[in-house]
Each structure stands twice: as C-alpha cells, then as structure tokens.
Structure 1
C-alpha cells in the first residue's frame, strides 16, 4: 500500500507552455461534476420511489428553511421547544441569506432555490480552491484526487443543498491558497467573508494569522516594509466578519459581547471538550441495538484523528494545520447535534491530502476504481440519508 505519510509529490517543473489555471483544474472540476450529478440523479430516483420531493429535500428542509426565512423576513424568528430551549435564527450567520435575498430579487427563484444555486456554484468554487491548494503543494494528480475524494465523501450531498458548507469551504480554500501565495489582503478579505458564513469561520481567521505570523519579514528596506503593511492589513481584515456578526448579535439581543453563546446554548450547542459527544457514543455502545452505530462512530473519530496526524507527518503548511485542527476540534468537541458532526467536518478538506497523495501513487486504474466505487456508495448513502427521519 502506498505510504500515506510521505511528505511530497514533486510538482511538474514549470514550463513556458504551462496550461492556464482553468485548464489545469478542468479534469478535477469535470470529475467533481460527474460525481455530484450521479448523487443528484440517485437522490431524484430514490425520492421518486418514496413519493418524496428531491427538490424539497435540497431547498426547503432543516437548516435551509431557516436560511430562507432570514432571507425573506430578516432576523427575529424563534421556536420554543418542549424542553424549554429557544431556537433563534440568530444562530445562522448572514452571508448565505444575503445572497439568497439578492438572487430572489433579480430572478423568479424562491429564496431556497437561490440557496441551492449558490451552494452548487460555491461547491465548484470550493473544488477549484481545493485543487489549487493541493496542486501547489503536491502537484496536479494530488489536486485531482483531493477534489474527487471531497466529492465522494458520504455526506457529499450537502455540497448540493441550500446549506452554507459549500460557500464556507470555497471561501476557506481560496483564503488558504492566498496565504500560500502571499496575497495577504485577499486572504484576510476571504477570511472575513468566511466569518460571515459559519461560526467555524474563526478557523480561517486563525489560519491566516498563523500563516502571516510565520512569514513576517525581518528586514527594513522599502520592499519589506510594504510586505509588513500587506500582512498587517490581512491580519486586521480576517476577523472582521466573525467579530462583526457576534458583536451585532450581542447588541441586538442586549446580552453583551458574548450574547451569541447564549443563542447557541438555546439550541443545545456549546463547547465542552467533547464530553457530551463521548457520553453519546458510550450510550450507543452500551445498548445492543445501537452498538454497531457506536462502534462506527468510534472508528470514524479515530480515522479523523489519524488523518490529522498524517497531515502533521506530511508537514503541511502551518496555515492548513491550524485551520484543520480548528475545524476538527470545533466539530468533535461541540456539545450538541451529534448526527451533524460528519457534515461539520466537510470543510476540513486538508484531511484528504494524505489519501489523495496515496491515490496519486497508485496506478490510474486502481485509483479510478476506488473513486468510482466511492462515488456510488456516496450517492446511495446521500439519497438514503436525506430521505431518512432526521436532519443532516
């Protein structure tokens, strides 16, 4: 089996006739389109067989309803649960609803349908960003397989839902790429937009800061002073989205700077270092009917941690290591919505670089077989998942 931890596949030597960025990414984007088309086709057939609507599942269920309601009416909606919890729409960050409102204003689509269009478009932008990051580090073949592995994740159907994961991953990937190319103002601006998309936007902020701090120039000439200015601007821009929304929520609710934490608490969310999740898994393992599910959760968590360790052994750049660690930590250590944790890990695409490197070292036929079988499994699981009883 190929060594998943080997640090590098040497990129192709630069050439005066090197294809454009679009042409280099085209095979990865075409493969991504094929996988997502298969997933949507299977979902449509599965839903038709169950007399449900794939369109509704993608645009008007679960979180998609909350985003569409914010886009249509603004913030202010709450749902009180039987156990005394208060589900406020302030838990949802505003960038996707803003785009839904804009799209609905200039098209005949509903807010949820615009959310679907935004998500699909953003998923391609995310795939391109993942390719760009991986190609820069390890070459075009690793970039190709990183995109395909992201597409065939079991929860990959979320990439085509009116959810914010695709939009966030696109902004995060391109921000990380900007860090790797020293475009600090672009990196900071994209991090700020990511911070307006999901709470985990703080992971992108941390990545930009980490990347900038280790790259600060030490000289005093004019060129290095300009580099200082660019990095400082990027550092200043990066947290504005997250910080601005959290402070606005605190002022809007009258609860102060940490009021957003109260909003999350109303949803049963918090950060307890993984204690609640561990108890949830232990409960599954302790019951015979759910022991298999509990074992699968344990295997899944160990796999994620092993992949992160492989990223460290691969010596990924500090920005990617910090970003991935923050996404994984926030996903696994949150105290609520345990069934959503696979979806919360969807933006942690650097975890896929070690297996992408392994696939790149295999024969083309073997790698294609792995990807094709995974695409079928992903399509079937996505259709089964969305037609199930609970939200993803």
Structure 2
C-alpha cells in the first residue's frame, strides 16, 4: 500500500514539475496539433469545421462572424500584445538593449527570414496566388522551440537557449512588420484616423505617466476595435498597445512586467493552444497526403522551414564569426549551433497565422499551407533534437569547438 502511495506521489511530483517547466507549453502545442489532425480526419471532421467556421447567431462585431474569426482576430491580438511586451522589454533592458548584444541575433533573424522566403518562392513560383505565401515559413515558434530545448536539459548551454530566444523575438518583430505591410486589406480612412487618435491618447498617457493600467487597457480595447474595422489586421493593435505600456516603475512595480506576467500563462496554456486546435486541423483525405505535400505551396513551406531556416541562420552565424562582425554564443560548439538553427524551423503558431492571411480567398491553399507548416516543423523538431541530443559537449572528452 505504501509503495503504491509513494509511486502515486512520485507520478504527481513529476507531472507537476513538467507542467511548471518551459517544456510544458511546447508539449501542449504538440498534443493540440495532433488532436486537431486526428479530429479533422475522423468522422468528427465535419463537426470540427462547423464548430469554427459556421456563422454565429449573435454578432456584436459584424467582422467577427465565426468562432474562428474571434480566435484569429480577437484572442490572437492578446497573443501579439504579449509578444510586443516581450519585444519592448528586450529592446530596453534585455538582450536587444545594446548594439553589441543585438548585432548577431538581428543578423541571424533577418537571414533566417530571407532564406526561407527565397526557397519558398523558388519552389512555389512567382505566379498568383501562390507567391503570396512567401512569408509563411519565415517565422519561428518560440514555445515549440524552447519546449524542445527544455526536454534536452543541461545538454544545451544556457547561452544557446538565450540566443535562440533572442533570434525568435527578433523574428516575431519581423513577422509583425510583414503582417502590417504585406497582409493588409484595403484601408478605411475614417477608422484608420480613429485608430491614430486612440494611439495618440495612449502615447499621451505614457508621457503623462498615468499610473492606472485599466486606462491603457480600455484605450487598447478601443484601438483594437478601430484597427479591426480599418482593414489593417486587428492583431497589429496588440503590438501597438504593448509599445506604449510603460516599462519603468510608476509606483512600486513596472506596469509592463505586471501585465506580461499576468497574461503569459493565459497566452501559453489557453490562447495559443486554442489557436492551434482551430487552425492545425487539415484534412488529409480526398487528395492524398503524399501527393498534396509535393504540391508547390506545401512543399515550398516545408522546405522553407526545414532548409531555409537552418541555412540562413547558421550561415549568418558563421559569416559574422569569421569576419569579426560578432562572436558566436560562448560555450556552444558549431554542431550545437547548427542544431539550434534547425530548431528555428519550427514555425507552428505564426506560420499558421500568416498562412490564413496569405490566402483569404483560397481556402484550399490555406489547407495546403497548414500541411507544409506541420511537415516542416516536424522535420525541424526531430532533426534539431537529434543533433543537440548527440552533439559532444564542449570541453568534454577532449572535444574541441573550433572546427566549423
């Protein structure tokens, strides 16, 4: 009896430790993606589609007429708010706060966005509408990548984990810019001007050091409504709000840090998994999974994530180190850096999001893009994990780290 109780306690301890670890969010995303695929390809597939895409009977905001629209345009605005808060914190006080610190991750992130886009265009072609998906493989999923790193434990140097996080943050900033510049529909001038007015009011609150978070959040809600109706994608409002939230303490604590800490668990364990479940369910029947993956769009997305990310990021690190532009992360071997670059090809959340924006009038291409995202992310996670798992540890067993 005691042995059974001890075994149960040990299981409970291990489960609690897993849930509280960085790996939990990534593991949850993996499970959610698998569940979405299983449901979409089961007898429940039609009900799954109807749940998210059937028009709602009550529409307080006409533009949000389905549950899928509420998730992608409303809940994901909160996701982008958290991303924006993290970016601002890193720029002001973190790894992007000085030119020396941001030199290598910015270069690596830019190369890691350009190479996948070029590989996608070379594969999918320049004809419409396929070329509109060029940005789909350009983004890295932080939760997935960090989750894989956490599963590896101490085999991964802390400097490598920090570098991957920094690259992914710059990557997210680039993805936000791409969404705002290239995936914006026709703009309604009146609503755009209203959004500008609300943004000015938010900036004034920051200048006047208004100490009430509720004021910023209420104005942020108004900003989101204006941006939603302006034609600019509503999630951009989340980033704009994040950039005006003060980081410096106004009373006893930082408003930005308080908001980020409050939203981060909801973001990781509710919003992103719900988005994943609503968007990752691609039906594989009817056209054949193998043949579909070899079509231009899914193949371009998969190759962009799997090959483009690792080529762009690793080549940027080697070039920067060899030319003296910036030094590679301390304590990491070249093999480990390659493994980290491969992991950056995990593009689940942001890639699925951009895929939905790229082909609004071509639902079949959205489904094909999903298949490419899942294939490229799976290959990147498996190869990246294998490289980092079996890479010799620097400074052990006489191994050197200087040979490229």
Superposition TM-score, scaled by structure 2 size: 0.24
Structure with more contact order per residue of length (Cα contacts < 8 Å, sep ≥ 6): 2
